């Protein structure tokens, strides 16, 4: 079985999107699947260089990630997006573009995200040194119907990855033999 799907991680900076995505990538590759991660920071450096952080630029960035995920998904590759993607409307746009789409909300309190922030961006935003920081002075719109909610301040990254894996099985994106490979 080979069915492409996009696994769309969304959540605040520091919520654990990239960490869980990497765990899932490793497991999926061990099960013999082709996987690509589109990490928000990496995409901004390579695919979206020159875009700022206005709402329009953020929307453009997320639509670009969505388009690449669409191309990968239709070619039976599992695309994993790990980008804040703060606006519901653009996530919904990508969902309808891609079709095979599993939204994963990495839910984590703002306080915990700030504690995890090794770059100190939350502290700078809270002091007013950075403007338009998602969750501080720019909105983050929580998903209304995410297929998976990972409460990353209450569960380990491995437990969160397990939840995503189980949903992929349930939705038929992973076969029984692939699921067995994960448990091996």
Domain at 71, CATH number: 3.40.50.300
In a domain, 133, yes or no: no
Helix (H) or strand (E) holding 37: strand 35-39
Phi, psi of 65, rounded to the nearest 5 degrees? -60, -45
Share of the chain above pLDDT 70, in %: 94
Q: Give the pLDDT confidence score for residue 184 in this predicted structure.
A: 44
Q: Is 81 a catalytic residue?
A: no
In a domain, 129, yes or no: no
> Looking at the predicted structure, is the pLDDT value of residue 42 above 70?
yes
Which range marks the domain in which residue 19 is found?
A: 5-109+140-183
> Looking at the predicted structure, is the pLDDT value of residue 31 above 60?
yes
Distance separating alpha carbons of residues 38 and 34, to the nearest angstrom: 14
Phi, psi of 42, rounded to the nearest 5 degrees? -70, -40
Tens of pLDDT, residue by residue over 122-145, are 998 888 888 888 888 888 999 999
Share of the chain above pLDDT 90, in %: 68
Length of the chain: 184
Which range among 78-82, 91-95, 116-120, 145-149 shows the weakest confidence by mean pLDDT?
116-120
What's the pLDDT band for 56 if we cut at 50, 70, 90?
confident
In a domain, 128, yes or no: no
Q: What is the tally of structural domains in the chain?
A: 1
- Indicate which residue of 13, 48, 85, 160 is catalytic: 85
In a domain, 63, yes or no: yes
> Looking at the predicted structure, is the pLDDT value of residue 8 above 80?
yes
In a domain, 79, yes or no: yes
Distance separating alpha carbons of residues 158 and 24, to the nearest angstrom: 9
What's the pLDDT band for 179 if we cut at 50, 70, 90?
low
Q: Mean pLDDT, to the nearest integer, of 66-72?
A: 96
Q: Give the pLDDT confidence score for residue 180 in this predicted structure.
A: 60
In a domain, 124, yes or no: no
Which range among 108-117, 128-137, 166-175 shows the weakest confidence by mean pLDDT?
128-137
Q: Give the pLDDT confidence score for residue 69 in this predicted structure.
A: 96
In a domain, 121, yes or no: no
């Amino acid at each position: 079985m080979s069915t492409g799907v996009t696994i769309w991680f969304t959540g605040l900076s520091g919520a654990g999107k990239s960490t869980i995505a990497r765990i899932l990538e490793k497991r999926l590759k061990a099960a013999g699947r082709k996987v690509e991660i589109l990490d928000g920071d990496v995409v901004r450096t390579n695919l979206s260089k020159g875009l700022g952080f206005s709402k329009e630029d953020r929307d453009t960035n997320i639509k670009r990630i969505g388009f690449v995920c669409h191309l990968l998904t239709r070619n039976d590759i599992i695309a994993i997006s790990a980008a804040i993607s703060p606006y519901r409307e653009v996530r919904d746009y990508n969902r309808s573009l891609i079709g095979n789409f599993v939204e994963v909300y990495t839910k984590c309190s703002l306080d915990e995200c700030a504690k995890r922030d090794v770059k100190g961006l939350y502290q700078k935003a809270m002091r007013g040194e950075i403007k338009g920081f998602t969750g501080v002075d720019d909105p983050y719109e929580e998903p209304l119907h995410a297929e998976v909610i990972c409460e990353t301040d209450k569960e380990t990254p491995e437990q969160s990855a397990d939840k995503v894996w189980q949903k992929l099985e349930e939705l038929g994106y992973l076969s029984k033999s692939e699921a067995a490979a994960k448990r091996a």
